[in-house]
Structure 1
């Protein structure tokens, strides 16, 4: 019997909690469908997104913050059913050199993703986020190039989706995909609860999921199921190729 390899997906997250708030439902849903979902965390968010940890006092160090954030992210990925790796390139500010770009291109080659999830192209509140998606975009292009490490299998043209930023109106982000994550909401919320360093966001992203669920329910056909409660929004960066518009 011929072995059919599992489909794969890649998530490029600027900080170690971004993938949970913004794409935890998609990760859990596709993992349940048999996808091998791999997450790259470019940083731990140790400087800019770990205020609760830093408030513990003078005994807290950057290495301790990183260790706590790594533990949270690993626990969340385990719950969602994904694998995860950490580039640890720093945050606030995040900067990426050519070696980091090639490292991510190698991940594209290794994973061969069916689709890619990352940040919005703009975010005036957090410059790390657009840097992450631009890095992912450029790594995708390099991984497609025959002249990069000739002889390796190149990647095709996996669709890239921007997940929802914290303040979408200011980021010129408008969803054109609404994903029903109702059946995996319990996993996403359990993963959210792993993010103890940012507990103030638990309720916020629950409200976001409920809002997108309402919108998803209003945008399905009359014969489709109506029991959507929780959703996630995504914006396509590239046009999708299809054989019909149904």
Structure 2
């Protein structure tokens, strides 16, 4: 059973949008997994074999004990009934308490399709009298991480302080050399420099070095204010 399952349209999305969440939860002793929905290929400088090696390297850097790929089709990801059943089956098998999905507004069709798929599968996973494998289960919450292709000005529900794990998150992202280094402009600011600046912006917003924004559709419940920065 997982405490948290980060669901990503492509390998590297989990690292980009929720790498800090993953590392912080693991440091707290939580059971964390990543489910990539597609291989992420084709891309201009990648291949299925290369992306698999990059994903394995990033998984090792993060220290993830659980990572799977649902095997859906990149660039054609849709929240179909068949895909919903596949994902709901994983939720019933692994029984995560929290789900992390891409933010619901994006220019990338795979990302918005993934968000819809996660929300629908969460509902289906609790159904009785159906042909889904396993016992009914309903994850408590969905959180949404930002890995978007729009120039948004997000208003997150909260910002997680990732200062002490930032370098490790960046190391995991660097594993995807074919996506973030090869063929990208080398003049500053580079893609990775902009990523650092964005994390620093969110850190400044909460008075720390680096931050990671997270959104929700449902209200958050607090037992006390002791955990607030």
How high is the TM-score relative to the length of structure 2?
0.85
Residue 213 in 1 paired to residue 203 in 2?
A: yes
- In structure 2, the partner of 1:222 is none
TM-superposition CA deviations, 1:52-108 (whole Å, max 9, x none): 33xxxxxxxxxxx11111211122122112221112212223235433221211111
Partners of 1:103 and 1:46 lie apart in 2 by 20
Cα pair distance change 1:245/1:31, threshold 3 Å: closer
How high is the TM-score relative to the length of structure 1?
0.79
- In structure 1, the partner of 2:16 is 21
Partners of 2:158 and 2:29 lie apart in 1 by 21
- In structure 2, the partner of 1:106 is 89
Partners of 2:13 and 2:199 lie apart in 1 by 15
Partners of 1:106 and 1:162 lie apart in 2 by 21
| 1:148-227 equivalences in 2 (<5 Å) | 148-149=130-131, 152-167=134-149, 170=152, 173-199=154-180, 200=184, 201-217=191-207
Cα pair distance change 1:156/1:89, threshold 3 Å: closer
**Root mean square deviation of aligned Cα:** 2.3
Partners of 2:132 and 2:10 lie apart in 1 by 32
Residue 79 in 1 paired to residue 72 in 2?
A: no
Where does the alignment leave 5 or more consecutive residues of structure 1 unmatched? 1-5, 54-64, 218-227
Larger deviation: 188-197 or 233-242?
A: 233-242
| Residue of structure 1 aligned with 2:72, choices 89, 111, 125 | 89
Q: What's the CA shift for 1:243?
A: 4.2
Does the 8 Å CA contact 1:159/1:240 hold for their aligned counterparts? no
Residue 137 in 1 paired to residue 132 in 2?
A: no
Where does the alignment leave 5 or more consecutive residues of structure 2 unmatched? 185-190
Q: What's the CA shift for 1:231?
A: 0.9
Aligned residues: 216
Cα pair distance change 1:241/1:153, threshold 3 Å: farther
Residue 229 in 1 paired to residue 224 in 2?
A: no
Does the 8 Å CA contact 2:89/2:132 hold for their aligned counterparts? no
Partners of 1:182 and 1:11 lie apart in 2 by 20
Cα pair distance change 1:143/1:169, threshold 3 Å: same
